[in-house]
Structure 1
Amino acid sequence: MNLNPDQLTNYANTFLNVLIDYSPKLISAFIILFAGLYIIRLINRFIRTLMVRRNLDPTLTRFLADILLWVLRVILFVSFISKLGIETSSFVAILGAMGLAVGLSLQGSLSNFAGGMLIILFKPFRVNDIIEAQGVTGTVSEIQIFVTKLINANNQTIFVPNGSLSNGNIINYSLQKIRRADLTIAISYDTDIKKVKDIITAVLKNNPKVLQTPAADVSVKNLTDSSIQLAVRPWATNEDFWGVYADTLENCKHAFDSAGIVVQPFVKESSKNNNKTTDPLL
């Protein structure tokens, strides 16, 4: 199509007129955009500083600040396109539909997200606490929004989803400063119970890591067909717990050997109806 000079002039004039008429909206829209970005940055910085001063959890501080940042950016973008004269009702409807679709497809992730928020807010455990939950035990290395990272005794990293973690039972071994060990020692029926209890009590008193308050307890736990089971319950700090656990067993064995007391081995009980078995392993 050939355009003559008059048509080009008319198109140019029309474009200039539209540009002149639309330029106030365009200029004001970009002023709102740049001013809004600057104000959002100031608000985000102020909120982060305020939460740090209130000693909020660093993970929660970072997450809430990021959420606020993106919410303000979405509001600013809607205001920007609205100032340009673009209809925003359909745009908001599209955003709502997209949010619903994403929410339905990420139900598990949203559950973990909600669990992470509950853990961060109510703090059933903190970083460096030793916990037992969901069948695993370890030291809390990091509390993330969707998962909690544990380091077990074998130096293996375990990621536990926050959804199941927040809805299940949690044993926090670090919440209290002291901890009781529960040990079982079996002796034969021919052994003098009082003598054995005195020996164990002396072993516990000679261990400086065993706390005197609360006092350790040594008592009869159970009478089985093959042995008398004694419950030995010393108290120790969290740092000394496993040392006290191992030292008590080892020192009691040495003391029993010196006194001529034989520890009764645990015997696996079996039914008389199983006497006909021919399996040598049973």
Structure 2
Amino acid sequence: METIDAIKSIEIGTLLEKWVIPYGTKIILAIIIFMVGKYLARVVSRLVGRAILVSTKDEMLQSFVTSIAYFLFLLVIIIASLSQLGINTSSLVALIGAAGLAVGLALQNSLQNFAAGVMILIFKPFNKGDFIEAGNISGTVTQMGLIVLELRTADNKTILVPNSSVFNNSITNYSSNETRRIDFIFDISYEADIEKAKIVIHQILENDPRVLADPQPLVVVGALAASSVQLFVRPWVQTTNYWAVHFDITEKVKIEFDKVGISIPYNKLDLNLPNNPVIKIERNTKKST
């Protein structure tokens, strides 16, 4: 029994010495390298992002670079962890390269979106917080990602637009300039006094402090339509006041036109009925026999 116990103790000792301790140590070190490295990757990527923000004042570029830096650092950490386990990382790098090529061919659209995101950051047609129209979608830019652009619509919906759809189509930036022109068309009847209507509109614009005096608002007869005279009104406002002024001026013009008796034409439908509008419809019925 003593001999058997001695043999077992030797086998256990050998197992611990040759397998458990060496490989257990490697596994523990690999886990420590991965966990610590992951934390450092997050910290370093954030520091890189902050440096980009300080130097460029561009929050979209900061988000874009932070994401790329984090994934690159994480890839290096994974390779270092596997190397600690004794895995041949040179062949692994080659395998990752081959897999990357295969994935790249399979994800051509994603790569196009990535390239489009880089081009957007280079040319900077808009910034975070701008209200834009891109890819037939309008909204406020909230975040620029590696693949998609995040927009918040006026009714507070979040829409993710592929970067390629944004870059490959026309982009309208409504926030890039400090001032904007509002284009109104007010219809009045042919019997209405045109000069009186123009005076009323000028007074409304002058009494609104949000309407800029320079450039001077334009109030002219723009067209003689089939059933109305069209007045083109072109005031300038601060971009942030665009919709508020648009709605207020529209309402005030209707109220003031009613006060001075200027009619706004609208479509009418006249029905001419005969003296006896009741039309009898007779139906022939047959009895089945």
Instruction: Compute the TM-score of the two structures, normalised by the length of structure 2.
Output: 0.69
Alignment partner of 1:148 is 2:152: no
Q: Does 1:157 align with 2:158?
A: yes
CA contact (8 A) 1:226 1:267 kept: no
Query: In the aligned structure 1, how far is the partner of 2:46 from the partner of 2:74?
Result: 14
Q: Write out per-residue CA displacement over residues 15-53 of structure 1, whole angstroms, 9 at most, x where no aligned residue.
A: x9xxxxxx9xxx9xx9xx97xx69x86976774564344
Q: CA deviation at 1:207?
A: 1.2
Sequence identity percentage: 39
CA distance in 2, matches of 1:165, 1:109: 14
1:62 partnered with 2:63: no
Counterpart of 1:124 in structure 2 is 125
- 2:228, 2:216 → 1: CA distance? 26
Q: 1:234 to 1:53 in 2, by over 3 A?
A: closer
Distance 1:102 1:266, change over 3 A: farther
CA contact (8 A) 1:141 1:151 kept: yes
1:208 aligns with 209
RMSD (Å) for aligned C-alpha atoms:
3.6
CA offset at residue 142 of structure 1? 2.1
Cα distance change of structure 1 residues 210 and 267 upon mapping to structure 2, 3 Å threshold: farther
SS in 1 for 2:201: helix
* Unaligned segments of structure 1, at least 5 residues: 1-15, 17-22, 269-282
In structure 2, relative to structure 1, the CA distance for the partners of 1:246 and 1:45 (3 Å cut) is: closer
Farther-moved stretch of structure 1 (180-189 vs 40-49): 40-49
- 1:197 matched to 2:202? The reply is no
Which residue of structure 1 lines up, in the alignment, with residue 283 of structure 2?
none
Provide, for residues 150-204 of structure 1, a one-character-per-residue CA deviation record: whole Å limited to 9, x for no partner: 2222222222111101111111111111111111111122223222112111111
Contact 1:129 1:173 in 2 (8 A): yes
Deviation, 1:119, is 2.5
The alpha-carbon deviation at position 134 of structure 1 amounts to 1.8
Distance in 2 (alpha carbons) for counterparts of 1:56 and 1:76: 33
How far off its partner does 1:75 sit?
7.1
| CA 100–43 in structure 1, closer or farther in 2 if over 3 Å, else same | same
Q: In the alignment, residue 244 of structure 2 is paired with which amino acid?
A: G
Structure 1 CA distance for aligned equivalents of residues 133 and 261 of structure 2: 40
Per the TM alignment, residue 217 of structure 1 is displaced from its structure 2 partner at its CA by 0.8
Separation (CA, whole Å) in 1 of partners of 2:152 and 2:185: 28
Q: CA offsets per residue over residues 209-245 of structure 1, 9 Å max, x none?
A: 1111111111122222211111111111122211211
CA contact (8 A) 2:182 2:234 kept: yes
Aligned residue pair count = 242
Aligned to 1:184: 185
Q: Residue type of the partner of 1:118? A: M
Residue 98 of structure 2 corresponds to: 97
After alignment, is 68-77 or 229-238 more displaced? 68-77
Provide the C-alpha distance between the structure 2 equivalents of 1:189 and 1:132, rounded to a whole number of angstroms.
38
Q: Over residues 35-74 of structure 1, what are the superposed CA-to-partner deviations in whole Å (9 max), with x where a residue is unaligned?
A: xx69x86976774564344245320331232244146447
